[in-house]
Chain A
């Protein structure tokens, strides 16, 4: 009851403050964009599955938490809308700079960035962001009150931060005012962060939604309910959130100046799709955004088909309704309705891994390598792709997905043992000491219990039978699978990795010795040369020298075959004609502010 009353007061304060804020920030007020008739522009979008679990960035981890939080909060850096693989400042006035090779980074906050008007502030007026907000927001990641869900992002990264975390969590009360030696305030708008060692990925982390800047006043005012009362600097202000159901937000009238990417930032294909038409205009374009969560695909697809949703991912079951299977082009009837298509390559690494410590399948001797190479050569990933994914995954060599530096040209590397090559597979099997499969025990393959996995395991079993290798699939629920892998009990296992940020380093970390199970190196792969190279690339920015090391590491892994792979999914989107400026990406979710609607085409 008290919370409800407080929320009511909050709402009234926001409404009132919204009106008063118009006076207070007269210079900064952005009225959003009405259509020609002056009507409100409302954008309806789906969230496939059941949506975010919290609107507090420090508690978020899923794509859907990201999708929701990115409308209310902002990070220091962000991906570029025109080229989501590149990064640009968002809350910063300029790119961060380092004069000591990436050890110390200097940041300058953008002027005129205000938090949402909210009851947590005096008079309900959002104040301008400052250095302390950045430090406070990062410190929240270290507070075990939030169960350290995202601590891994900054662990072992910033000078003195790990010590600060340990001290404060042991103390009776977590002191956010206590200093961190790596955080240095220069003034309200400028600060420095000193790292333990130069780590290039630090800049990517500052673009991840979990590091969004939040005001301390809001966290303290709302307490446990902060996750339901987002107060950020983002383009939208929460109107309502019914968990697992819907989320609506109105435009932030005080949103700082952000402009649609210029014409020259778009590729020729994007320009052909008229994505450049709003070049240089101030965003956001819509007044209100409404998300509906769809745990089932049918209602989402039907609502999209009725024109009630701006875009939709194309669910597997409806793919052939929209696309031609052979050409992957939109069907004529979709084109007639004015529907457009976009596809995205996901930064996926789908593989079947080996436990390198397993007595039968692990090891680095020539015989042990030959056994894994034989298995890899017998498995036909393209057949799996055609049968189970309608040919829509990208089969590639190495652990670095398409679109990232270190990914082999055309997806093929000479170092790879890609199947099917049965004569060579038999030869390798003989080298391994199992001529024609004789004497080789069954390969025990652990995977999660889904219909798809059961069917795929049958196919792999059939493929391996061709070289007389027996394959025994063991199905289990996901948590048991994780437990088996973490305890190094699974000789071979089915798994996947989605890159946290667009850098091959993130995938190469999966083979770094110190990350062995229960860490992310589920293969328990340990190679001296590899680990040293990995430690080197951590400190390097993008360069040809770094690319060469990525390739060397990739080929080293391919030679040792700690897994059979790889595949990356492509996501297909269809877009209704009334939604404009839309180029869906899953690299980040701060791009909804660039979308516009043309209600005359509904």
Chain B
């Protein structure tokens, strides 16, 4: 297996290098310094900023320098133009809040959606299936923004206004300046993360449920299901042992596609709930044309997706012995 992982990693290196190359070239199509400094920047200011970030060096030198930073994960010398602090610190500060929200979201969504998918598939065409899918379609049809705005209003503001004592806060406030572990403290997690997680779960549930139902429906038509039922296996055993095991490949695919988002965060949720995660940091950087942050985050996200692809292949083999890692 380790041979396979190393081989796949090596295969993906050119892909990653190409992504970085494209990202770096795209970010330099228009002058990033002028875009960041705005309308009143003098030529001298533009020159100083260009020199300080080495943007006056030949492209291949910049490319090489950036690759070294990625390989060594040393972004401490790269300072954000907008926040004047090392990009490495920004990454390390932003990852924990995103994990605090997106980790539980992924776990809860996958668990509920798989169960609902199983129930729905086993009751295909019957009332429970129709009701569940109707709810799922309704859920999918509503904009994420609506869930967030209504969730924040009815899930935090209104009960808090009515009763005063309510566990969820409208948004993260100044009292939450408690370091990287702050959002993992149970009390803080409930106050600031639980409502965003619930909203995220509701948003994701519609899509995931329909996907898992489709997977399970396909499995219910397989011969091994009929055989299992003929041998007298109970309905729940067939569902949760036989079928679930055989449906693991698409389940792994679906979960692994979502895995990078645990780190990259959910932009809208983080912005509305003031959660200082990766998504919010990236959107801030884009809005302020913070070139060093955008470049670094994009490369990091690319690396995350490549890593999750490799991990997905490994999990396929673990889940299904027929898949050979060769």
Interface residues of A (CB under 8 A from B): 44, 50, 53-54, 56, 59, 144, 147-149, 151-152, 224, 227-228, 240-248, 290-296, 298-299, 302-303, 305-306, 308, 477-480, 482-483, 485-486, 518, 520
Cα-based distance from A248 to B85 in the complex (angstroms)? 18
* Distance of A294 Cα from B276 Cα, bound (Å): 11
CB distance from B128 to the nearest CB of A (A): 36
Does B42 lie at the interface of the complex (its beta carbon under 8 Å from any beta carbon of A)?
Answer: yes
| Sampled A-B contacts (22; CB under 8 Å) | A44-B173, A50-B284, A53-B83, A147-B52, A149-B45, A228-B85, A240-B177, A243-B83, A290-B173, A292-B172, A292-B274, A294-B274, A295-B284, A299-B152, A299-B171, A302-B156, A302-B170, A306-B170, A478-B35, A479-B30, A518-B43, A520-B40
Q: Are B276 and A152 in contact (CB under 8 A)?
A: no
> A299 touching B273 by the CB < 8 A rule?
yes
What is the distance, in angstroms, from A234's C-beta to the closest C-beta of chain B? 18
4 additional A-B pairs beyond A152-B40, A246-B174, beta carbons within 8 Å, are A53-B288, A245-B172, A479-B38, A486-B39
Within 8 A of A (CB), among B276-322: 276, 280-281, 284, 288-289
- Complex interface residues of chain B between 77 and 124 (CB less than 8 A to chain A): 79, 82-85, 90, 93
Chain B residues, CB < 8 A from A228: 85
Chain B 123-171 interface residues, beta-carbon cutoff 8 Å to A:
149, 152-153, 156-157, 160-161, 170-171
On whether A247 and B170 interact (CB within 8 A), knowing A298-B272, A306-B161, the answer reads no
Chain B residues closer than 8 Å to A303, beta-carbon distance: 170-171, 173
Q: How many residue-residue contacts, CB under 8 A, span A and B? A: 121
Give A299 Cβ to nearest chain B Cβ, in Å.
4
A482 touches B38 (CB 8 A): yes
Contacts of B93 in A (CB 8 A): 242
Residue in chain A with minimal CB distance to B44 = A148
- Chain A, residue nearest B34 (CB): A479
Kindly state the separation between the CA atoms of A144 and B51 in the bound complex, as whole angstroms. Answer: 11
CA distance A214 to B170 in the complex (A): 38
Q: Which of A148, A248, A483 sits near B177, CB closer than 8 Å?
A: A248
Known: A248-B177, A291-B174. A298 touches B152 (CB 8 A): yes
A150 to B, closest residue via Cβ:
B45
Q: Is B257 an interface residue (CB 8 A)?
A: no
Set of chain B residues within 8 Å of A306, measured between Cβ atoms: 157, 160-161, 170
Enumerate chain B residues within 8 angstroms of A482, measured Cβ to Cβ: 34, 38-39
Interface string of B25-52 (1 = CB under 8 A from A): 0000011001100111011110011001
CB distance from A94 to the nearest CB of B (A): 34
> Which residues of B sit under 8 angstroms from A147, Cβ to Cβ?
45, 48-49, 52
The number of residues on chain B lying at the interface, defined by a beta carbon within 8 Å of a beta carbon of chain A, is 46
Q: Which residues of B contact A149 (CB under 8 A)?
A: 45
| Chain A residues touching B, majority SS | mixed
B171 to A, closest residue via Cβ: A299
- Set A152, A294, A295: member contacting B42, Cβ < 8 A: A152
Determine how close the nearest CB of chain B comes to the CB of A498; give it in whole angstroms: 11
B193 CB to closest chain A CB (Å) equals 15
Chain A residue numbers with a CB within 8 Å of B49 are: 147
Instruction: Select B161's contact among A296, A305, A477, beta carbons within 8 Å.
Output: A305
Contact A53 B84, CB 8 Å, known A44-B173, A244-B284, A302-B170: yes
Q: Is the CB of A480 within 8 A of B173?
A: no
Interface string of B187-206 (1 = CB under 8 A from A): 00000000000000000000
Structural contact, B173 and A292, CB atoms closer than 8 A: yes
The answer to whether A53 and B173 touch (CB under 8 A), given A149-B45, A305-B161, A306-B161, is no
